[in-house]
Structure 1
């Protein structure tokens, strides 16, 4: 810029600087000077409960009261539900927030809670990855098959508290189907918290911030926390809409990271922290495919900042998005990237990697978490699929097993006619059934763009010519043993 033009521009700015900031910057002005309120149970205040507007983080006093001036951009005041109290909900949808009335100079808020008899040190939670309903037909499948399966699972867990987490892509761009999603979770018997996914945002919006409006109308804030027993739960929004087409990246905004820093100040080092987000923080897709760069919309680009913040804790990350199942572990973090409730977008019974449509089940005792993958329509022992020789072209002389919830602490062995033969060979490849169902430009008919995906939870064994039965034996990290056999010949 030439000096004369710069000085001219500077003069305009200097003159404007004397005016009120709202006139210079066009800042949206809220009338709210203070929000105040109380967290109670049975009419008595609850001390030390964390309250936030997504920017400020405060704690209730000894009488359960709180008060602060909300940030000008804040939309909600929400509480981090404390341990020992039931999750408030409306017909299964977690109800932990109040929308800020921007036209009121002061707002009084009450958060009434109920004590859980017997406490919640022992509890469980369920993770639904990608329900992703596009049509009323999809919604009916969710409501009549997946939700009843979940309801039965919740009932089987007994008297312990159970909650659910919908890990994003609750619908497939069809916001009118949020009502069906809510109806489904309302029948499960567990209150559900939600995560925003890339198919839960408005792509007609001009910015990422504005793309979340419909989701917020239905489910409230897109990042928040809550507690159960000794575990601190965090929900984050890592879908960043870049303002054109249906394009987004996996990215955590500074607002969220700044809020999380404040939120974690109230969590003792060494605690177990469960973080849920839609797009995986990381996965092995780049390594499996041999790609030179990772897909910006497939993982979280600034995950290092998140990991640094979580370093003092024992961390489990819950994600969806990929429509395959993968578990990885490094240092203090384990990520569970879930297979989906919708399978391969409601086109067949399995995900793109051969994982059956289903959801994650996590049983918590203090700081200890154990888990398994629950396939819809099967009991918890269903953990292996077997494919006979010839079904996988690259390994035509081998039996192929898919152990979809595998992680490096599993042991996968095989027996031939009852005789132990040792470990199966792990490979990277495509699940044979997924190839038959989804590979090719004309398949599947419902969504021809669906394709099988590479996975590393495949295992092979080459039986001898006269063998009659091959048995796969998989032992998970908790010592649970699962077996499946196939008749040869």
Structure 2
């Protein structure tokens, strides 16, 4: 009875609120400049090509998603918290861009109750079911000298890769985060590199692209958004659905973050995936890897090396065939399970522009992906090296812990590669895979005084080292590595 009386009193209080005079309800809120604007905004317009509407295009404010009608028209009820209206570019159309930076969005003016914007797309003249893309992870420039290396080494290398394909080949880039190293004035140099590459780039926010003076994660992407637009979005090319997410969660203290995907993004992703046919191939790009061998060995639960709530993401992706593109770690690592494969890329900057290799021995470089329908093939392109350079062989004694064995680093290895060795022309069988350090990385980076430019750089353990013990009489050792696509890479000592 007592609980019932409390309940009735609460109901009475609620009822009294319903009869509060309008003058009080309409009173202006305090601190008007910092209040959250939840006033309604109607977004509308048309998605068209040469004046003709395109039906079924996904349009979003980053909160909810709608689709254009048969005439290409869209209307979406939003609110004052939304920053952009943007589209998921449909298959068959060129990516809208300005000097290589994709522009699939429009900023929503503040203090407007209605905003109209038309998206104009150009229909492709070639079939986009065949196309390529490259993943540039961690260009990460801190100085003009770093930028000069990007422009003089990485850009010409990418230009050469692009020219190696037929002239009308569709190629786009994914800048996989840490586009700069906290120095936002260098975004212009990154953009110059993209423009010179000659292909459109979609971009991902990294932990070094964040405003670390923000109070919380909500404000940490302020500068990135000014430069590149939304931090999560999708687009389509051929039969592939591409998604980008922001998994760098800033915790409000300088340089402090965790790998975490917010609920706002996950509920948006749920809507985005509802428009994708189960069984389709998805390419999902984010900066911090969802998982790596290093995270597995460290048994990391919460930190900046992997995504904390990855299992929830995996459940959402379960109906699809998924390739995850990530960066951040400055090493190369591939894993595959239950229809998901993650490609954690070695970096464009190598070990922060200090030397030719990353901490795991992977050469500075980037991933190249060739798409045919729903199938994807790939290779790692080392900057300044031939595309067939996919391994490095070390003589006996180079790895201190294994003085009687030869060692091989096969940096883009995954579980479907085969690594064999021959002694004086005779096949000896598979090499033994071990988690180990690359000896050249140890030579370049181990110790408090190495490398001179950034002394924090250290060699890192990797899962792509292989070992074999030749006989004392051996005169020639040959290593043959065969990738999952049947490509054979061979070196001898």
- Tell me the TM-score normalized by structure 1: 0.94
Aligned partner (choices 149, 152, 164) of residue 156 of structure 1 = 164
Instruction: Report the number of matched residues.
Output: 476
Distance across 2 between alignment mates of 1:293 and 1:201: 23
SS in 2 for 1:274: strand
- 5+ residue gaps, structure 1, are 1-6
The answer to whether residue 439 in structure 2 is matched with residue 432 in structure 1 is: yes
> Over aligned residue pairs, what C-alpha RMSD do you find?
2.0
CA drift of 1:23 comes to 2.8
Matched ranges for 1:324-473 at <5 A: 324-473=331-480
Kindly indicate whether the alpha-carbon contact (under 8 Å) linking 1:55 and 1:71 is maintained by their aligned counterparts in 2: no
Match of 2:270 among 249, 257, 261: 261
1:16, 1:182 → 2: CA distance? 55
Alpha carbons of 1:325 and 1:468: their partners in 2 closer, same or farther (altered >3 Å)? same
8 Å contact kept, 1:84–1:228: yes
- The answer for the alignment partner of 2:44 in structure 1 is 36
Deviation, 1:105, is 2.6
Q: What do the CA deviations read for 1:54-99 (whole angstroms, capped 9, x no partner)?
A: 0010101111111112233110011000000011111000110000
Tell me how far apart the structure 2 counterparts of residues 21 and 58 of structure 1 sit (CA, whole Å).
35
1:334-387 C-alpha deviation (Å, 9 max, x unpaired): 000000000000000000100000000010011000011000011210100111
Deviation at residue 287 of structure 1 after TM alignment: 3.6
**Structure 2 SS opposite 1:209:** helix
Please list, as runs of the form range in 1=range in 2, the aligned pairs for 1:34-183 lying within 5 A after superposition.
34-158=42-166, 159-183=168-192
Shift of 1:405: 0.3
Deviation of 1:157 (Å):
2.1
State how far apart, in whole Å, the 2-side matches of 1:460 and 1:66 are: 60
| 100-109 or 226-235: bigger deviation | 100-109
Instruction: Tell me whether 172-181 or 377-386 shows the greater mean CA deviation.
Output: 377-386
What is the CA distance between 1:11 and its match in structure 2? Answer: 8.9
Secondary structure at the aligned position of 1:70 is classed as strand
Looking at structure 1, the residues matched to 332 and 261 of structure 2 have their Cα atoms a distance apart, in angstroms, of 23
**Aligned 8 A contact 1:75 1:99 in 2:** yes
Q: Find the counterpart in structure 1 of residue 214 from structure 2.
A: 205
Alpha carbons of structure 1 residues 167 and 16: separation in structure 2 relative to 1, 3 Å: farther
What is the rounded CA distance, in whole Å, between the counterparts of 1:70 and 1:442 in structure 2?
A: 55
- What is the rounded CA distance, in whole Å, between the counterparts of 2:217 and 2:38 in structure 1? 21
CA distance in 1, matches of 2:347, 2:218: 27
Query: Does residue 285 in structure 1 map to residue 294 in structure 2?
Result: yes
Q: Partners of 1:80 and 1:266 in 2: how far apart? A: 11
Gaps of 5+ in 2: 1-8
Aligned to 1:320: 327
CA distance in 2, matches of 1:30, 1:184: 40
Shift of 1:28: 2.5
Structure 2 distance, partners of 1:379, 1:266, is 40
Deviates more, 1:305-314 or 1:147-156: 147-156
| Cα distance change on mapping 1:33 and 1:294 into 2, 3 Å | closer
Shift of 1:391: 1.1
Q: CA deviation at 1:433?
A: 0.3
Structure 2 CA distance for aligned equivalents of residues 106 and 155 of structure 1: 46
Note if contact 1:32-1:101 (Cα within 8 Å) is conserved in structure 2.
Answer: no
Q: CA deviation at 1:432?
A: 0.2
Cα deviation per residue 1:273-313 (whole Å; 9 max; x = unaligned)? 1100000011111344xx35445110000011111111110
Offset at residue 465 of structure 1 (A): 1.1
Assess, with a 3 A threshold, how the Cα gap between structure 1 residues 121 and 15 changes in structure 2: closer, same or farther.
same
Equivalence for 2:4? none
Is the 1:168–1:194 contact (alpha carbons within 8 Å) kept by the matching residues of 2?
Answer: yes
Tell me, yes or no, if structure 1 residue 23 matches structure 2 residue 32.
Answer: no
Q: Give the CA deviation at 1:30.
A: 6.3
Are positions 1:219 and 2:219 aligned together?
Answer: no
Q: 1:138-195 deviations in whole A, cap 9, x for unaligned?
A: 0111111101111111121222211100000000000000000000011112100000
Q: Which moved more, 1:353-362 or 1:462-471?
A: 462-471
TM-score, normalisation: structure 2: 0.93
Match of 1:251 among 241, 248, 260: 260
Contact 2:240 2:280 in 1 (8 A): yes
CA distance in 2, matches of 1:286, 1:207: 25
Q: Supply the distance in 2 between the matched residues of 1:281 and 1:298 (Cα, whole angstroms).
A: 8
Distance in 1 (CA, whole Å) between partners of 2:148 and 2:295 is 35
